[in-house]
Structures are given as C-alpha cells and as structure tokens.
Structure 1
C-alpha cells in the first residue's frame, strides 16, 4: 500500500451514486473505483497518520450488518475507521469519508454504564472549558445526551448540560467536492484530532475504557 495521494473529484459522485442506488449491482459495477480511490486512499490516509502519530488503524467493512435491522440496504454510505493507541490518546480517533466530505473527530462515543458513572462523578469546569476551547477553534460538538436530567441529578445542577451527555465527541468536516490533496487531507485530520485532544485527555484520565462485558444482541 502506497502513501495517501488525496481524494479525487469522483469520490463525492461515487457516494452520491451509492446513496441513490444502494444495491449490489451498483457496488459491483463501481467496485474497482471504490477499492482504489475510496477505500484504498482512505486506508492510506490512516496509515500515513499512524506512521506519524503511532498506533494501529482499523478500517471498517463497507457491508452493513442487516441481521437485526429493518433497513436491509447492503452498504454503508460512508467509509470510516479509527486510529487507536496513538500518541494523542489510547482511545480511537475517528475519520471517515462520504458524500458530505472528509470527517475527523475524537471523544468517547456511547459511554457504557460504568463510564457514565465515572464521567458524571468527575465532570467539572475544566472539562467545560476544554470543550469551549475546542469549539472556539472550529470544532463542532457531535455529542449526544438524554433529554432530561439523569436520575438523581437535580435539573438546576450548575453543570446539568455536561451531566446530560452520554457521548462526548468533537469533530468537523471538509467538503471533498473537486478533490482534496494529500497534504490538505492529512493536515485536516491531524489538526482536528490535535484540537480535540485536550478533551480526550480529560476523558482518558477521568473515565477511561469500560470494563463491562459488551451487551448481548437479541
């Protein structure tokens, strides 16, 4: 596998085509382009960043697991992966490419019960300031939370906005449009991860990975 050469102008059109015709016939007809210019280039992008920041990369399958889903569309409409164990954080740093462009982000997605307990016990003004700094530097909050106060937390708690969160992730997107050059793409993902890293370091220190077994699917 070679170095990342960038995403050409056809990447957006490939994903738009997949969204319009999410079928095995479409995928088979355009598989060569996907393997070379979509998955191939995305895999090379993560590999380049791993060589710089350390860690291991994972690129997830394009096929959807439809066994437990009412939506039987066979393919995901984005190609994405993570860099884990880097110099920025042991947690996974996210990147993906789709019709919406190149995305990068970092944080703790869908915290397990033990993680939420540690997070809610530790959430403080330092975390709020780190999130505000990241947003001020151009990142968006991709966090999710509950609609009301968590059980046992008063609705007028001074940090209720933080305590309602069940995921804390920050990131941004870069339109691919007419193409994204190699250095532009690497810099975009790298700089996004570095901007989010103060928040991720807080989470690494105060929350850490879950020790609970993964939930069983029914």
Structure 2
C-alpha cells in the first residue's frame, strides 16, 4: 500500500533528450555512441530516472535501477547496452515477484506481478491455481483488475504448450497453468505528459492498483530458493 506523503519532489518529468538518447542507442548500440553522448546520458537520462526512483521510493520502498550494460557472455547478441532504462522492486532478474518501470524510445511500461517464475515457484503457483481457495482468490483479483482496465496475463513471456503433468487438462484455469508467471502491464506511447511529473502519478496508480496480485504471489508462491541471476 502507498503512504500518503507531502513533500517537494526533484522529479520534473522525463526530458525529450532521454527518448532521443535511447532512439540513437537503438540505431547505434556502440561504446563510441555512448561515450560521445555521455553528458546527455548523465544529465537527461540517469539524473531524471534517479529522481523518479527517489520519488517512488517514498511510497514503495527501495528500488533497483537496471544497469545499462548487457551481460553478453552467453548471448549471441553482443550489443553492449540495453536500449531502455528502468528500475524494479525486486532483486531477481528471473523468478522475481514485484513491480517495474521501463522507458524506451517509444514510450514507457509500468508492470506488477511475477516474471519468469523459477521451477520451485512454478510448482507452488500451479498448486495454488488448482486449489479452490487460492485459485478463487486469483480469479477475483483478475476480475477486479479487469474492471479497472488492467488485464492480468502472461505478458511477453513464452508459455507452455501443454498443461503440466499432474494438473487436470480440463481444469477451469488450464490456460493460466500454461503461464510462466502472471503480470499486469500498462503500456504508454510516447507523449508530452511524460515530460512532466505526471509520470510518477501513473506509476503509483498502476503499482497501487495491482498490489492485490503481488500480495497473492507473496502468500502462495514466494521467493525462489535458487540463487538470483544477474540482470
């Protein structure tokens, strides 16, 4: 739940230069581009993102900013940088239960839920879904959020093609048993209001409204026992 606070904020919005920097990085994902535009990154990307993070931490607690550098050790894509910026409430890159915010050259995304659950989490998630008690709670949360124009779904994550072994194939929540997580994602195309402090209000609204989904995952799934992976 958010806390009611009154304070002066350093966050004034996401400057146009932030989106321009990310657009340029998409076209030229190189150290040469990054170094040539370091001042723009420091002043118009890192600074406002940090200010937004600080603003939201007043209500939601510690947030972790994603690093710009990609981990390319085991990736065929050797692009050195992410082409987006963002932060999250969770330490986990995989199996994380929490909320995140992301800005790209095209706009921004605000999300809450569980992403790419680890195997031990998936087992508890499925057990909860097939149980009438927590499964019914999940259905009610989805209905409540849908009434607020927020859809709970698998997001951009891949899904299983068959209902897992041991789960009834004709179960009322068989579709959800194919998911590797469940999340609310609100996407916004790039617009002028993003250059104002309205951004913080939009993030608060989504994270607060979707809190019941987080609470459900905390109660019935919880963290993974596996080590957290690097972002």
Tell me the TM-score range normalised by the shorter chain. Answer: 0.7 to 0.9
- Counterpart Cα distance in 2 of 1:209 and 1:183: 33
Tell which deviates more after alignment, 6-15 or 106-115.
6-15
Q: How many angstroms does 1:137 deviate by?
A: 1.8
1:53-202 matches, within 5 Å, as: 53=60, 55-84=61-90, 91-123=97-129, 124-140=135-151, 141=153, 142=155, 144=157, 145-178=159-192, 180-202=194-216
- Structure 2 unaligned runs (5+)? 1-8, 130-134
- Counterpart Cα distance in 1 of 2:170 and 2:45: 48
Cα distance per residue 1:45-86 (max 9 Å; x no partner): 011111133x2121121011111111011110111111359x
Q: Pick closer, same or farther for the CA change 1:44–1:83 going to 2, 3 Å.
A: farther
Q: Report what 2:3 is aligned to.
A: none
Q: 2:85, 2:102 within 8 Å by CA — same for their partners in 1?
A: yes
Cα distance per residue 1:86-128 (max 9 Å; x no partner): xxxx953211111121221111111112211111111112202
Q: Report what 1:34 is aligned to.
A: 41
Q: 1:111, 1:166 within 8 Å by CA — same for their partners in 2?
A: yes
**Higher share in strand:** 1
- Counterpart Cα distance in 2 of 1:135 and 1:24: 43
Q: Report what 2:59 is aligned to.
A: 52
Cα distance per residue 1:192-211 (max 9 Å; x no partner): 10121111111111111112
- Counterpart Cα distance in 2 of 1:98 and 1:143: 16
SS of the residue corresponding to residue 212 of structure 1 reads coil
RMSD across aligned positions (CA) = 2.3
Q: How many angstroms does 1:214 deviate by?
A: 4.8
- Counterpart Cα distance in 2 of 1:48 and 1:29: 29
Residue 203, structure 1, aligned to residue 203, structure 2: no
Q: 1:95, 1:103 within 8 Å by CA — same for their partners in 2?
A: yes
Q: How many angstroms does 1:11 deviate by?
A: 2.4
SS of the residue corresponding to residue 89 of structure 2 reads strand
Q: How many angstroms does 1:26 deviate by?
A: 1.2
Q: How many angstroms does 1:158 deviate by?
A: 1.6
- Counterpart Cα distance in 2 of 1:215 and 1:104: 22
